[in-house]
């Protein structure tokens, strides 16, 4: 284990009807004038938005609204949100939705107290301050409800970039598993995939002696392997959704990723796919991850064999550990297919002729340095090969 | 899973030499006049105390000192600490040591801003406010570095009582695994036992559908089973100590205990032993836990079988799950013996003739209600039977 710091001061209210206390939590963390930030129709149709407004009115909080966040949230709406915050003297941002609404809210929160262009933060500038944020989570996936991270798609070129900063960590997050019950099976499966990706990206480390975080990651993975198919079979299964919801937060608040190098190759390679084709991030990851794993497997066969045995129930082949490693990747891929995820470029809606461009943007786009990967360092040629494995 | 709230806003600085930044962290959390609170000779002999003072001086912080915390920390020193804080206008308490120093610091922190007797808080009064606390941990065991809990022995009758309150959660905790290298094998093993106890007490639940927290607990248990013997064999193994240290914090910050009923029977029964005989808490738990498990096993055989298979590598006996359950308890007991823990009353220094008194105090002492247990409700007679199993 390497030295690290860890600080995760988000207040979680978990369970049925917890969204009715939203106003109370906003007051607890000092908000008086709120921007409610959300996506499309589902939070309106389900009545959640009205319910939230009522909870704010109950506590005498005033608010303005900005809906319209799309999956793979975009810079344009962020600028709009920042303008509203400055004009209306908003002092608290409430995101209602999934990772997209939350990530967009984080970008607005940082931009609202910054004189420059908020995109600076997505090009390497450190986020030092931001308006306080609260969230009401409606999709278990991104882990943004408990993380300091945000990913935004720049509409000027359609590429995704991430930022991170303690000021972006939500003050509170309301996690009611029942609110995820309206999701389609496909959206639910995308979330499951994203959560597993957050675990795998931490699992692929070059740091030795990381038993505690390995075991925590494996435990969270096994939770997803157990609960994922249950919730796909029965979308109304509150308990399965509850287990997934807490696992999704724990997968990304980094308590299981401390003191070890991490990877994020699959996220970097996937981001180009969802930015260009506007596919769901989870669906993109389902296609990307097995390809990255196959490509990187030889770097540390025993690590792949370990997850194969501990999580996927493979038997260790002591004479041919690479066979065990492969069996684990195969089991993971089959799992993704079984919950309804796409398995190749075609099913994702991606095009072979874009591969060179995708690889170039992944490695050189915007402020990138020409390589990516925290487990294996990959150059543009490697990334082309990985995209080809997805065909 | 049941509804819950979770809030763990402690800043952790983990790794080598992190204690040299103590002054910086105290300032970050608003301290100006510090009470350094510690135990006996070891922090003086090792040079840690001088090093910490230097770190405070470097940041122009003034301080007063109160040493002398004993294992199973006592009310007398708490009163002394409260007087010092009030007289010297202390605004930050720094605990240097293990759970005893930290728990004592928490009691002082609460008492220093309260006009009544601090013991009120250990008799059920809710802790609403306290001075801010920081810790430099030297023993992986109690988990007090990341928890809202404190346990104190009342010298007026020699019984232990616990309190809990968000205000008691440390603002920061410095976790340098190297600082635990000076511990004896026995102290180290006591810590390992305490950490396993915190996990088992959460594992024994009556809440159904708790896969995510089950898996997290099991992962942390497996970490202890793997790293425990390594550190006993080689006390200088920094990496094993690092894994144990993070597992010890995670075991008790309650992220793996949320949304489920918990037990704490073993702690309640043990507290009478360490209060009366002044044995190490971990050693008392090593004798108590297997007895409680044997006594409670029939309440939920499958839960005992699950931990036996998932953590202790037992094979499931589908015709006789109770045999699997027993094998898991036996494996745990053998593990404790293998790391040097006592196995019965005699080895602990406890006396058969005290059993009636111990059971009575455990059930009726101070403000207790006559029964204990969150998994199985136990009365005085049950507790007598459990103590008898330890003979």
Percent of chain B with pLDDT over 70: 99
SS3 A372: strand
Mean per-residue pLDDT of chain B: 96
Check residue A37 and give its pLDDT. Answer: 98
∠ at Cα A266 (A265, A267), nearest 5°? Answer: 90
* Nearest residue in A to B13, CA atom: A5
Q: How many angstroms separate the first and last alpha carbons of chain B?
A: 38
Residues 6+ apart with CB under 8 A from A341: A189, A190, A193, A282, A283, A286, A287
CA distance A242 to A175: 9
Note whether B13 contacts A1, CB cutoff 8 Å: no
Beta carbons of A179 and A19 less than 8 angstroms apart: yes
Beta carbons of A383 and A362 less than 8 angstroms apart: yes
pLDDT digits (tens, 9 = 90+) for A302-321: 999 999 999 999 999 999 99
The arithmetic mean of pLDDT across residues A320-347, rounded, is 98
Note whether A3 contacts B18, CB cutoff 8 Å: yes
Note whether A242 contacts B259, CB cutoff 8 Å: yes
Q: Closest Cα of chain A to B335: distance in Å? A: 18
Check residue A159 and give its pLDDT. Answer: 80
User: pLDDT category, B28, cuts 50, 70, 90?
Assistant: very high
pLDDT above 70 (res B271): yes
Beta carbons of B103 and B71 less than 8 angstroms apart: no
Best of B246, B307, B311 to disrupt the A interface by mutation (most A CBs within 10 Å)?
Answer: B246
Rounded to the nearest 10 degrees, what angle do helices A265-277 and A281-296 cross at?
Answer: 140
Check residue B79 and give its pLDDT. Answer: 98
Check residue A157 and give its pLDDT. Answer: 78
Number of continuous H segments (helices) and E segments (strands) in chain A:
15, 9
Beta carbons of A302 and A326 less than 8 angstroms apart: no
Mean per-residue pLDDT of chain A: 96
Residues 6+ apart with CB under 8 A from A87: none
pLDDT above 80 (res A64): yes
Bridge partners of residue A66, in order along the sequence: A37
Q: Strands of B33-38's sheet, edge to edge?
A: A4-6, B11-14, B172-175, B133-137, B92-97, B33-38, B62-66
CA distance B22 to A99: 36
Check residue B41 and give its pLDDT. Answer: 81
CA distance B110 to B300: 39
pLDDT above 90 (res B94): yes
Contacts of A247 in chain B (CB under 8 A): 212
pLDDT above 80 (res B19): yes
DSSP 8-state assignment for residue B105: H
Contacts of B210 in chain A (CB under 8 A): 243
Best of B2, B6, B175, B309 to disrupt the A interface by mutation (most A CBs within 10 Å)?
Answer: B6
Cross-chain CB nearest to A2 (options B8, B15, B209)? B15
Pick from B312, B334, B329: nearest CA to B226:
B312
Q: Closest Cα of chain B to A102: distance in Å? A: 19
Check residue A366 and give its pLDDT. Answer: 66
Q: How many other CB atoms are found less than 10 A from the CB of residue A96?
A: 28
Return the beta strands (E) in chain A as ranges. 4-6, 11-14, 33-38, 62-66, 92-97, 133-137, 149-154, 159-164, 172-175
DSSP 8-state assignment for residue B46: T
CA distance B283 to A167: 43
pLDDT above 80 (res B367): no
Check residue A41 and give its pLDDT. Answer: 81
Cross-chain CB nearest to A216 (options B1, B216, B226)? B216
**Which residues of B touch chain A, with CB atoms under 8 Å apart?**
1-16, 18, 208-213, 215-216, 218-220, 222-223, 226-227, 239-240, 242-244, 246-247, 250, 255, 258-259
Pick from B94, B96, B88, B102: nearest CA to B26:
B94
Percent of chain A with pLDDT over 90: 95
Q: Closest Cα of chain A to B211: distance in Å? A: 6
How many CA atoms are closer than 13 Å to the CA of B253, on its beta-carbon side? 25
Pick from B314, B272, B294: nearest CA to B385:
B294
Q: Closest Cα of chain B to A169: distance in Å? A: 12
ipTM field? 0.96
SS3 B108: helix
Q: Please give the domain boundaries of chain B with CATH numbers for all domains.
A: 11-180 (3.40.50.1970), 185-389 (1.20.1090.10)
Note whether B13 contacts A5, CB cutoff 8 Å: yes
The residue assigned the tokens 């396993």 is B196
Q: Closest Cα of chain A to B202: distance in Å? A: 16
Note whether A212 contacts B218, CB cutoff 8 Å: no
Q: Retrieve residue A255's tokens.
A: 């308590």
User: pLDDT category, B214, cuts 50, 70, 90?
Assistant: very high
Give the H or E element holding residue B287. Answer: helix B281-296
Contacts of B226 in chain A (CB under 8 A): 211
The arithmetic mean of pLDDT across residues A171-189, rounded, is 96
Q: Closest Cα of chain B to A293: distance in Å? A: 24
Note whether A209 contacts B18, CB cutoff 8 Å: no
User: pLDDT category, A372, cuts 50, 70, 90?
Assistant: very high
- The answer to which of A28-37, B38-47, B98-107, B222-231 has the lowest mean pLDDT is B38-47
Q: Retrieve residue A264's tokens.
A: 């994020």
Rounded to the nearest 10 degrees, what angle do helices A380-389 and A281-296 cross at?
Answer: 110
One DSSP character per residue, A246-308 reads HHHHHHHSSTTTTTS----HHHHHHHHHHHHH---HHHHHHHHHHHHHHHHGGGGHHHHHHHH
pLDDT digits (tens, 9 = 90+) for A105-147: 999 999 999 999 999 999 999 999 999 999 999 999 999 999 9
Note whether B258 contacts A239, CB cutoff 8 Å: no
Contacts of B10 in chain A (CB under 8 A): 7
The arithmetic mean of pLDDT across residues B333-337, rounded, is 98
Q: How many angstroms separate the first and last alpha carbons of chain A?
A: 38
Contacts of A239 in chain B (CB under 8 A): 1, 208-209
DSSP 8-state assignment for residue A71: S
C-alpha Rg value of chain B to the nearest Å: 20
Note whether B14 contacts A5, CB cutoff 8 Å: yes
CB pairs under 8 A between A and B: 126
User: pLDDT category, A95, cuts 50, 70, 90?
Assistant: very high
Beta carbons of A112 and A82 less than 8 angstroms apart: yes
User: pLDDT category, B156, cuts 50, 70, 90?
Assistant: confident
Q: How many other CB atoms are found less than 10 A from the CB of residue A381?
A: 10
Q: Retrieve residue B11's tokens.
A: 């800043």
pLDDT digits (tens, 9 = 90+) for B121-151: 999 999 999 999 999 999 999 999 999 999 9
Percent of chain B with pLDDT over 90: 95
pLDDT digits (tens, 9 = 90+) for A358-371: 999 999 876 678 99
Note whether A209 contacts B14, CB cutoff 8 Å: no
One DSSP character per residue, A295-327 reads HHGGGGHHHHHHHHHHTT-PPP-SS-HHHHHHH
């Amino acid at each position: 284990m390497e030295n690290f710091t860890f600080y995760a001061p988000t207040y979680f209210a978990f369970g049925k009807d917890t969204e009715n206390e939203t106003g109370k939590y906003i007051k607890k963390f000092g908000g008086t004038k709120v921007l409610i930030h959300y996506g499309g129709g589902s939070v309106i149709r389900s009545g959640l938005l009205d319910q939230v407004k009522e909870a704010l009115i109950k506590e005498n909080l005033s608010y303005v609204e900005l809906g319209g966040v799309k999956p793979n949230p975009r810079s344009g709406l962020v600028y709009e949100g920042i303008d509203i915050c400055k004009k209306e003297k908003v002092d608290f941002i409430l995101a209602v939705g999934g990772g997209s609404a939350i990530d967009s809210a984080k970008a607005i929160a940082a931009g609202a107290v910054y004189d420059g262009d908020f995109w600076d933060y997505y090009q390497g500038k450190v986020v030092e301050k931001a308006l306080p944020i609260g969230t009401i989570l409606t999709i278990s996936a991104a882990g943004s409800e408990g993380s300091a991270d945000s990913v935004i798609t720049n509409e000027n070129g359609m590429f995704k970039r991430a930022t991170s900063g303690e000021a972006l960590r939500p003050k509170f997050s309301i996690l009611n598993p029942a609110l995820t019950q309206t999701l389609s099976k496909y959206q639910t499966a995308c979330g499951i995939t994203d959560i597993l990706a957050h675990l795998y990206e931490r699992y692929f480390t070059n740091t030795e002696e990381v038993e505690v975080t390995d075991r925590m990651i494996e435990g969270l993975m096994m939770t997803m392997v157990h609960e994922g198919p249950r919730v796909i079979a029965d979308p109304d299964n509150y308990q399965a959704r509850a287990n997934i919801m807490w696992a999704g937060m724990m997968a990304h608040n980094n308590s299981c990723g401390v003191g070890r190098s991490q990877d994020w190759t699959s996220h970097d390679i996937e981001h180009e796919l969802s930015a260009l084709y506007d596919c769901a991030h989870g669906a993109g990851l389902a296609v990307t991850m097995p390809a990255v794993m196959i490509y990187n497997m030889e770097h540390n066969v025993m690590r792949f064999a370990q997850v194969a045995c501990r999580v996927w129930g493979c038997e260790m082949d002591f004479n041919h550990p690479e066979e065990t490693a492969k069996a684990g990747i195969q089991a993971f891929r089959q799992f993704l297919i079984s919950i309804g995820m796409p398995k190749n470029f075609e099913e994702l809606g991606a095009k072979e002729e874009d591969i060179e461009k995708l690889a170039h943007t992944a490695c050189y786009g915007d402020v990138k340095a020409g390589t990516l990967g925290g487990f294996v360092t990959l150059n543009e040629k490697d990334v082309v090969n990985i995209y080809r494995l997805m065909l």
